[in-house]
Amino acid sequence: MDVLLDIAEPGEAAKPHDPRPEDQRRVVGIDLGTTFSLAAAIDQKHKPRCIPDEKGRCSLPSVVYFDPKEGENGVTVGHSALALGRTDPQHTVASVKRLMGRGLGEIEAAELRLPYALEASDGGMVRLKMQHRHLSPVEVSAEILKHLKQRAEAALGGSLYGAVVTVPAYFDEAQRQATKDAGKLAGLNVLRLVNEPTAAALAYGLEQEQEGTFAIYDLGGGTFDISILKLSKGVFQVLSTGGDAALGGDDFDHALMEFLLKTMGQDNPDPGLIQTALHAARQAKEALTETQTTTITLPLPDGSRFHHELTRDAFDGLIKKLVRATGLPCRRALKDAGLKPQDLKGVVLVGGSTRVPLVRQFVADLFKQAPYADLDPDQVVALGAAHQADLLAGNDRSGLLLLDVTPLSLGLETMGGMVEKVIPRNSPVPTARAQEFTTFKDGQSAMAIHVVQGEREMVNQCRSLARFELRGIPPMTAGAARIKITFQVDADGLLTVAAREETTGVEQSIEVKPSYGLTDDEIETMLRDALEHGEADVQSRLVSEARVDAERVIHAIESALKQDGDLLNPEERAGVDQAIETLRQVAQLDDHQAIQDQVQSTDKATTFFAQRRMDRNVRAAMTGHKVDDFA
């Protein structure tokens, strides 16, 4: 693995673990993914590198476990949460990105099997109902971002100046605002939201090409994006975008999971079996990337085990319709850019789901050329975001210009419930456009303004973003007033709308805050609470982590007793049972050090049992063999 950072003694030119000179700001690029999330930074050689955890793992599973016994402080993120999710799925949230900025009706229409209940919040965004608390997807995502922020600050040797966070190109206003809210709640200064395909192009260093047009095919865990980029002398211009914010590798997993449950005859499976089947489906998908056949084994409720041999051809049959569904956005994006497949200089693959052989073959057939896959598709987005963060912080003065586009049209409701598009989709951002409207009735002194987003012609077929009123219009005959409405979209793709009556100068503006986002007051309250209870939260987290460790040890010993309890005589068994009970009681204390000490004591007290199990396994392996057979 490449070394990310150099180490210097205190007082020398670079701070410990700081990859950049003293006068340059610490920034990171973050890929907040559906399945995995990553953070990356620029190293001393001006190259982007992913920031690993203490075990050298760059990818952080986008999974958060909320311990029902610990209240608001019992939060576990990443690999540990993934493991806990198999035994306590009702309190484990995975793939939360698919819920960001979404209402209850939209989630229900997607027919996702989720191990927890959902409800609509006052603001419209869906909330997750758990035994001890109700959470918004923004709060769950903030925990993932907080974890990556802590990892980055530990590696870079100090507080972050800011971060660039990536979003799918096809994320709408509500989803983008929700992502920015999550960053704010995590304590991050979000310098910019950058579309994932554009970040991937940056990572590939395509700016070094003098000229060329490329397609970025991005199939992640929960979303699909296609972007057509024109690259010329350091300028990245996005010509068009398309995609599906509810299509990704998770759907491959769910298709295989449903097939397995049906084959097992499980019409109404419990949440634990669903999660087990989903985990097995994901493992089978990954195995079939390299092999033609894999065997899936699952426990059945009656105690027996289900075995199924799955071929790559059978798996391809299950996902073929989903893979083909990516073709329509691709063809539309090419049409919007005025191009044909043969006009492209190359096709770049992004996202872990592009490892699936059927996907790669489909892309090659669709674009009539073999795609680029040189960089790790899981890391490429975070690496590109690190480039952009370095530029925005002023560390990189290469002058690279990034021109992104709006993913969906923005407009207003007019009489009859129709939509008047003010900013068409695929317009370069930042941008500002104005349009004049007038009154409908004689003497009308106010106008209701309804801002919407979408491609359909009727308001009820588009996403409602905001409503406000312009008052103080001078009474005139219908059609005489001149009301200028201006739309401004910033570099993050976020919108401000202003309305002005031209004859009087009466003006009203609104920063569009989609109804599915958190209000500033809600975020401020959460941040203030976090600050006020910071020290207590740290202690509670330590206790929570120690309890998780204790539960892991108890579960491991109890499983061993079920399997090999006959290795112990009654006196020894009583001693092991007592050690478990003592650990269980100590784990209820609010003293993390006492719990850790008891965990170590329990390990020591059961070492002899572990040794006997090992001896039994060795003897079983040796049966029928000579020692020389293992030489």
Q: Which amino acid is at 373?
A: A
234: left (phi over 0), alpha (psi -120 to 50) or beta: left
Q: Which of 69-83, 197-211, 493-507, 603-617 holds the top average pLDDT? A: 603-617
What confidence tier does 527 reach under pLDDT thresholds 50, 70, 90?
Answer: low
Structure tokens at 177: 């605002």
pLDDT on residue 13: 35
How far is residue 173's CA from residue 344's CA, in Å, rounded to a whole number? 30
How far is residue 285's CA from residue 277's CA, in Å, rounded to a whole number? 12
CATH of region 249-324? 3.90.640.10
Residue 233 pLDDT exceeds 70: no
327 or 274: which carries more pLDDT confidence?
A: 327
Is 621 in a helix, a strand, or coil? Answer: helix
Structure tokens at 457: 């012609």
Each residue of 155-207: pLDDT tens digit?
998 999 999 999 987 787 788 888 999 999 999 999 989 888 888 888 877 65
pLDDT on residue 142: 94
How far is residue 447's CA from residue 494's CA, in Å, rounded to a whole number? 23
- pLDDT cut 90: percent of the chain above it: 33
Q: Which of 10-14, 445-449, 525-529 has the lowest mean pLDDT?
A: 10-14
pLDDT on residue 321: 96
- Asked whether the beta carbons of 41 and 28 are under 8 A apart, the reply is yes
363: left (phi over 0), alpha (psi -120 to 50) or beta: alpha
Q: 404 pairs with which residues across the strands? A: 429
Each residue of 569-620: pLDDT tens digit?
999 999 999 999 999 999 999 898 999 999 999 999 999 998 998 888 888 7
Q: Where are the domains of the chain?
A: 249-324, 406-521, 534-622
Residue 479 pLDDT exceeds 90: no
pLDDT on residue 204: 78
Residue 445 pLDDT exceeds 60: yes
Residue 220 pLDDT exceeds 50: yes
pLDDT on residue 16: 35
Is 110 in a helix, a strand, or coil? Answer: helix
How far is residue 40's CA from residue 561's CA, in Å, rounded to a whole number? 44
What confidence tier does 14 reach under pLDDT thresholds 50, 70, 90?
Answer: very low
Residue 12 pLDDT exceeds 50: no
Q: Which amino acid is at 297?
A: T
- Asked whether the beta carbons of 164 and 393 are under 8 A apart, the reply is no
pLDDT on residue 631: 54
The model's pTM is 0.68
Crossing angle of helices 570-586 and 592-605, rounded to 10°: 170
Check if CATH label 2.40.30.10 holds for domain 406-521. Answer: no
Each residue of 336-393: pLDDT tens digit?
999 999 999 989 898 889 999 999 999 999 999 999 877 788 898 999 999 889 888 8
Give the CA distances from residue 244 to residues 260, 326, 418, 478, in Å, rounded to whole numbers and listed in that order: 26, 8, 24, 42
pLDDT (average), residues 99-121? 76
pLDDT on residue 97: 86
| Neighbour count for residue 554 (Cβ, 10 Å) | 18
Q: Which of 71-85, 102-116, 184-198 holds the top average pLDDT? A: 184-198
Is 80 in a helix, a strand, or coil? Answer: helix
Pairing state between β 60-61 and 117-120: unpaired
pLDDT on residue 177: 87
DSSP 473: P
DSSP 492: T
How far is residue 264's CA from residue 258's CA, in Å, rounded to a whole number? 10
- List own/partner pairs for 266-272 with CB under 8 A and 24 or more apart: 266/301, 270/301, 271/89, 271/90, 271/115, 272/86, 272/87, 272/89
What confidence tier does 403 reach under pLDDT thresholds 50, 70, 90?
Answer: low
How far is residue 62's CA from residue 41's CA, in Å, rounded to a whole number? 19
Each residue of 119-152: pLDDT tens digit?
887 667 788 888 778 888 999 999 999 999 999 9
Residue 289 pLDDT exceeds 70: yes
Using alpha carbons only, give the angle 98, 175, 75 rounded to the nearest 5 degrees. Answer: 60
Q: Write b or e for each residue in 161-175: b if 16 or more Cβ atoms lie within 10 A of its Cβ, otherwise e.
A: bbbbbbbbbbbbbbb
pLDDT, the chain, mean: 83
How far is residue 226's CA from residue 61's CA, in Å, rounded to a whole number? 24
Catalytic residues: 31, 97, 196, 218
- What CATH topology corresponds to 534-622? Substrate Binding Domain Of Dnak; Chain:A; Domain 2 (1.20.1270)
Is 120 in a helix, a strand, or coil? Answer: strand
3-state SS, 542-594, equals: HHHHHHHHHHHHHHHHHHHHHHHHHHCCHHHHHHHHHHHHHHHHHCCCCCHHH
pLDDT on residue 259: 94
Does an H or E element contain 148, and which? helix 137-156
Match 């991005």 to its residue by tokens: 218
Q: Which residues, including other chains, have CB under 8 Å from residue 95's CB and lie 6 or more apart? A: 34, 35, 62, 221, 222, 250
β strands within 86-154, DSSP E? 92-94, 117-120, 126-129, 134-135
**Which string of DSSP letters, residue by residue, matches 405-452?**
E-SS-EEEEETTTEEEEEE-TT-EESEEEEEEE--SSTT--EEEEEEE
